[in-house]
Structure 1
Amino acid sequence: MKKVLFIIAIFIATGISAQSKYQKGMQKAFGFWQKGQLTEASQLFERISKAEPTNWLPAYYAATVEILGSFGMKDEAKLTAKLNKAQEFLDVAKSNSENNPEIIITQALLNLAYIAFDGQKYGMTLSGKNNMLYAKALKIAPNNPRVILGKAEWEMGAAKFFGKSTKPYCEQVKKAIELGKKEKIEEEFYPRFQVKRAEGVLKQCQG
């Protein structure tokens, strides 16, 4: 009996150790991100993803960091390489969490990075895809504040491009903020709603 308990204790200790290593790694990666060290953050999220092959979050964050780092790039070859890498991470995340609204809207963000780089080249093919992605995400999670805000921002961007008012989308941004403030997330490292950023979007919407 003592031997059995000892074996169980080893398994529990190993589990705690592994979990602690994952937590420390994720926290360190977020620390790099916060400091603007995007390459280091992406590389660490990638390493964690390989160590946690069934966990969608590290690959999701690796993709997000790569996508955000692509905005403002002037070299198309470098942009494409960065976004191809981000797509690989997103595909890993998708394989671990099918029909996940967080991953779906991040795919839309990746498409937006291409459109922002060259609207004439990528707008025609990717705009329709983004409309479908946001519609799909909203159908899966109608009260997800990140989905609601992402969709509103996407539609605001389209309105600005065509010289139309963005005011019709203000209510959706407000709804996202309200839901974001009330949202309770239990899963560790799950994406959080950025209230301050959403409030900045609302100011643009009303302005």
Structure 2
Amino acid sequence: MKSVVLIATLIFTLSLTAQTPYEKGMNKAFTLWEQQKNTEAAQLFERIASVEKDNWLPSYYVGLIEIISCFGLKDEALLNTKLTRAKEFLDSASAISKDNPEIMISYALLNTAYIAFDGAKYGMTLSGENVAIYQKAQAIAPNNPRVLLGKTEWDMGTAKFFGKSTAPYCEDIERAIDLFEAEEQTIPYYPYSGIERAKEISNNCKKETSPK
């Protein structure tokens, strides 16, 4: 998860001169996030969102920070507080940008945070919801590398849970890497991150399938 944060800070580099207040704020928020000052970064993204009412990105990043910071938590009350807050901001982002695959797969990541905390309690209800989210997102954006990566990671996790091989999904990881490399990064602050995670999984695939 840490790599997601580090990659996110490099999403889009702007000149330090002639920046708008929005650009200055977003750059500062990403810097705080890179420094692992999650609370400060989320608060700044929230302030930006209160001004940029037609821009889904600031609210999206508040939600994403809250979700990522939930993995590894031991306190269920804190988990619920953070993920409830995350959902509120994802809902705000979704109201601005409907059927946005980036936001959709963040809802799936939110569900995964619950399942990772207590699979017995949350797995039954939220697993099916995640399958539906990834299917819908893939139907909307079949060539989105983050959608393919997220869906494939989910499928791999499911296979592991049931004691099945993850090897059949390695080809999808390679395809995701190809899609990442072909993706044109033209929108400032868009969540283009993910290729390093895909390459990490690809390396694991190669280790698991190499001759012993």
Partner residue of 2:54? 54
Partner residue of 1:13? none
Q: Which moved more, 1:193-202 or 1:76-85?
A: 193-202
Distance 1:135 1:197 in 2: 21
5+ unaligned residues in a row in structure 2: which ranges? 1-17
- Where in structure 2 are the equivalents of 1:1-207 lying within 5 Å? 20-206=20-206, 207=208
TM-score normalized by the length of structure 1:
0.89
More helix by share: 1
> Displacement, 1:54?
1.1
Matched position secondary structure for 2:20: helix
State the Cα deviation string for residues 14-62 of structure 1 (Å, max 9, x = none). xxx8x71000100101001111111111111111111111100000011
5+ unaligned residues in a row in structure 1: which ranges? 1-16
Q: What number of residue pairs does the alignment pair up?
A: 190
Matched position secondary structure for 1:70: coil
> Displacement, 1:185?
2.2
Runs of 4+ in 1 over 4 A off after TM superposition: none
**CA contact 1:145–1:193 (8 Å) conserved in 2:** no
The alignment yields a C-alpha RMSD, in angstroms, of 1.1
Distance 1:194 1:114 in 2: 21
Identity %: 56
State the Cα deviation string for residues 61-103 of structure 1 (Å, max 9, x = none). 1100000000000000000000000000000000000000000
Q: Which residue identity is paired with 2:153?
A: E
Question: Highest relative contact order (Cα 8 Å, sep 6+), 1 or 2?
Answer: 2
**CA contact 1:156–1:205 (8 Å) conserved in 2:** no
Distance 1:130 1:155 in 2: 10
Q: Which residue identity is paired with 1:120?
A: A
